[in-house]
Amino acid sequence: MVEQIVFFIFTILVLGGGIGVITTKNIYYAALFFSASLSGMAGYFVLLNAGFLAAVQIVVYIGAIAILILFAIMLSRRMMTTKEQQTNRQTWLAAIASFLLFVALLGVVMQVTWPLSAEKHADNVLVLLGMSFLGSYVIPFEVVSVLLLVSLIGAIILARDIQTEEGRE
C-alpha cells in the first residue's frame, strides 16, 4: 500500500514538473520545475529496483545538468525580466500533436500482455552493472570517454570569451 502512495507522490512531482516547465513565464521557475521532475524520476528508479541509477540521476542530472542550465539562465539574464509572450502561435498544433503521440503510445502499451516474467529481482545490481560495463559493453564504455572529451573540447572552444581567446593565441 505504501508503495502506491509513494508512486502517486512521484507521479505528481514528475508530471507537475513537466507541465510546469512548459507553462511558466519565468524561465527560472521553469528550471526549478525541471529539477522537481528529475527528482520525481529518481524516485521512480528507486521503486524499480534501480537504486544506483536513482543516485546517478540525482548527482548527474540534477546536480550537473540542471545547475548548468541555471548557469546558462544566469548568463542570459536579460530574458528573466521581460515577460513577452513565451509561447508562439503553434500552441494548438503542439497540444493536438502531443495528444496524438500519447494515444499511439497508449495503444501499444495496452496490447502487450503483462507481466512478461516474474522472477525474483537481483540484489547485487551494482556489481552486475560493473561487470557488464567492463565485460560485454566495453566498447560503449570507451567511446563514452571519447564523447566526453569531444564535448569538453567543443564546449570550451565555443563558449570561451573572445577577449581571453585572443589573449591566449
37 interacts with other proteins by CB under 8 A: yes
Neighbouring C-beta atoms of residue 3, cutoff 10 Å: 8
CA diameter of the chain: 64
72 interacts with other proteins by CB under 8 A: yes
32 interacts with other proteins by CB under 8 A: no
64 interacts with other proteins by CB under 8 A: yes
Non-local CB neighbours of 9 within 8 Å, separated by 6+ positions:
43
Q: Sign of dihedral through CA atoms 20, 26, 65, 159?
A: positive
Neighbouring C-beta atoms of residue 167, cutoff 10 Å: 8
Q: Sign of dihedral through CA atoms 133, 136, 139, 143?
A: negative
| Number of residues near other proteins (by CB under 8 A) | 122
Nearest distance from C-beta of residue 18 to other proteins, angstroms: 4
Nearest distance from C-beta of residue 29 to other proteins, angstroms: 11
151 interacts with other proteins by CB under 8 A: yes
- Cα 114 to Cα 44, 55, 119: the distances in Å are 19, 28, 13
29 interacts with other proteins by CB under 8 A: no
Nearest distance from C-beta of residue 54 to other proteins, angstroms: 9
12 interacts with other proteins by CB under 8 A: no
> Per CB under 8 A, which of residues 83..102 are in contact with other proteins?
85-88, 90-91, 93-95, 97-102
Residue 57: CA count within 13 A, CB half-sphere: 18
125 interacts with other proteins by CB under 8 A: yes
Nearest distance from C-beta of residue 59 to other proteins, angstroms: 6
